[in-house]
Amino acid sequence: MAVRTILHYPDKRLRQPGDAVTDFGPAFQSLIDDMAETMYAAPGVGLAAPQIGVALRVFVVDTATDEDAPSDFRVFANPEIVKLQGSTIFTEGCLSFPGAREDIERGEVVTVRAQDRHGEWFEITVDGLLAIAVQHEKDHLDGKLMIDRLGLLRKRVLHRQMIKRGGSEASV
């Protein structure tokens, strides 16, 4: 297992949609282990493969935020949002936007169909932090970022903050 480098906005690779996972063999298993190690080291509750420069449709989450709670580590490969119910506003962070916290509107309850780390299909309906994390990480697989869900003013402010932090130029 290795901790991989997390790409930061405005890195163009964050905009590249992921390709479907078709091989669940040893290289994929190693990627999942690296993603878990990277997410925990960051620390974060989710990480999508595009965030570490791997253009695959897979993300990992662990929403057990209490140190004493057992792990709730999950792998979502080739996820599809089947149904969204209600709406909620949640203050989200993102490992690709260090230090940023933004109020984002999401579905309150989400049903997702995906494959686990071994390629087995499953479908679950979730709410709370797990629902937010699933929607946030799924966006990464489509090349969509947290900043894309903000109004124009907040988008400009966050863009400038990230450029100032990283020292590079890009357009929103």
Three-state secondary-structure class, residue 16:
coil
Reduced to 3 DSSP states, what percent helix, strand and coil does the chain have, rounded to the nearest 5? 35, 25, 40
Spell out a b/e string for 2-40, using b for 16 or more CB atoms within 10 Å of the CB, else e: eebebbbbbbeebbeebeebeebeeebeebbebbbebbb
Selecting among 92, 102, 105, 137, the annotated active-site residue is 137
DSSP string, 61-107: E----STTSPP--EEEEEEEEEEEES-EEEEE--TTSTT--EEEEE-
User: Is 137 among the catalytic positions?
Assistant: yes
User: Catalytic residue positions?
Assistant: 137
